Structures are given as C-alpha cells and as structure tokens.
Structure 1
Amino acid sequence: MLSFLSNVWDFVWMFFTIFVFFAWLMALFTIITDLFRDRELSGLAKAIWLLFLIFVPFLTALVYLIARGRGMAERASSQMQAQKAATDDYIRSVSGGAAGEIAQAKALLDAGTITAQEFDALKAKSLG
C-alpha cells in the first residue's frame, strides 16, 4: 500500500513539475516577445534584459513582470487592437461592404435564385 501511494504522489509531482515548466516557458517567451515589441526600450537595454534572462532567469523574469508588467499589458492590447483593425479593413475590402452584398443579392434575383421578397430582405439586412 505504501509503494502505491508513493507512486501516486510521484505521478502527481511529475505532472506538477511539467505544468510549472510549461508555465515558465510561456512566461519566458512572453517576456522575450514583449522585449522585442517595445519600441521605447533601447537596443542596449534589450540586450541587458536578455543577458540577465539567460544567466539569472527566475529572478530576472520576476523583476521584469513586476517592473514592466503594466507596459506588457498595454503593448499587447495595442497590438491586438491594431491586428483587429487590420483584419476588419481586410474583410471590408474583400466583401465590398453593403453595396457588394446588395449587388450579389441583385445577381441572385436576376438569375432567378431568389424571389423579390428575399431580395428585399437581404437588402434591408445589408443596409441596417
């Protein structure tokens, strides 16, 4: 019975260790990504942060998260907003907007695929 419990706790410890390792890797990659994303930080400061991350990783990561955590969140948020705006602009350019949708609906009406009532419904949906 004792060896079984020992094996179970070894198994639990292994999973905990793997979880902590992956959490550490995610934090490390997030910090490195943030370092290169920050345009206000000089190249020398980035190099110093990276050297400290290599030689004193846990302490440096903790200090970085405490000292620059708010800036990390702001930079990540601004990048996400920029990506969303770029995606929205791309979708608008490809779809043609409301005029494009109405033109497609008109083509379907002319082809006899939809009725006049369905065309009016699609047109109202596109406009409003």
Structure 2
Amino acid sequence: MDPDFPLLSVFLYMLWFFCFTMWLFLMFTVITDVFRSHDLSGWGKAGWTVLIIVLPLIGLLAYLIVRGSSMHDRQARQVASQADMWRTEVRAAAGRPSAADELSRLADLRDHGVISTNEFEREKTKILA
C-alpha cells in the first residue's frame, strides 16, 4: 500500500482550490456590494473595505451579518435598472425607421406628386448624411 495516497492529495488540492475560488468570489461580491450601496457614506464604504481587506474573515462575516439581508435587494434593484435601460434602448431603436424605409416613403411621396424632385433630393441627402 502506497503511504503517500496520491489520489487523496489530488482530492485535497482540488478541495482547497475550490474553497479558495469560493472565498475570492465571496470577497469580490461583498466588496462590489459595498461600493454599490447608496445608503453608505464614503467613510462607511472605506471602513467596510478596510475591515474586509485587513481582517478578511471577521470583516466578511460582520458585513454578512450586519448588511447581508439587504444585499439581495440592492442587486435586484441594479438588475431591474439595467433591464429598464435595455428595454428603453430597444424601444427607441425599434421606433426609428431605417434609411431605406425613409427613402421608400419619400419616393412614394414624389411619385404621387406630394413633394417635388428638388425636395426629394434635399431630404434624401439629409437621410444619407
């Protein structure tokens, strides 16, 4: 029997790597939440950041205990705000007619005698510019 247990070593290294990755993810999530919080002053944000960096375990646990219940609310507001901005941009882009649509509309107006050829050319240069 091999006394080194290489499979156990591989498992333990993978476990430590997973725990380290989760630790980094938690730290980045909490620090992002600190800076995303509009209810904290600049000094409050600085204090939490220093506490998290200098005493990571105590700082993270303290932040999660004191402010952890509102982390989800701040993230949900941020996601809703981004979704609203995206919807506004999509609606604005969908409401604008394309240059080809504008040119075909102008050509129809010219063909029906509503606008003159000079007006058509003037509007066409505005659209294509």
TM-score (norm 2): 0.70
2:32 corresponds to 1:2: no
Q: What 5-or-longer segments of structure 2 have no aligned partner? A: 105-129
Please give the per-residue CA displacement for 1:82-103, whole angstroms capped at 9, x wherever unaligned.
Answer: 0000001111111128xx6xxx
Q: For residue 38 of structure 1, what is the amino acid of its counterpart?
A: S
Shift of 1:57: 0.2
Q: For residue 23 of structure 2, what is the amino acid of its counterpart?
A: W
2:60 and 2:93 map into 1 onto residues whose CA distance is 43
Instruction: State the identity as a percent.
Output: 32
**Structure having the higher Rg:** 2
Q: For residue 68 of structure 1, what is the amino acid of its counterpart?
A: R
Q: Which stretch has the larger CA shift, 7-16 or 45-54?
A: 45-54
> After superposition, where does 1:86-105 map in structure 2 within 5 Å?
86-96=85-95
Question: Root-mean-square deviation (CA), in Å?
Answer: 2.1
Shift of 1:12: 0.5
Equivalenced residues, count: 101
Q: What 5-or-longer segments of structure 1 have no aligned partner? A: 108-128
Shift of 1:2: 2.7
1:14 and 1:95 map into 2 onto residues whose CA distance is 52
> After superposition, where does 1:1-128 map in structure 2 within 5 Å?
1-3=1-3, 6-96=5-95
Shift of 1:20: 0.7
Shift of 1:3: 3.9
TM-score (norm 1): 0.71
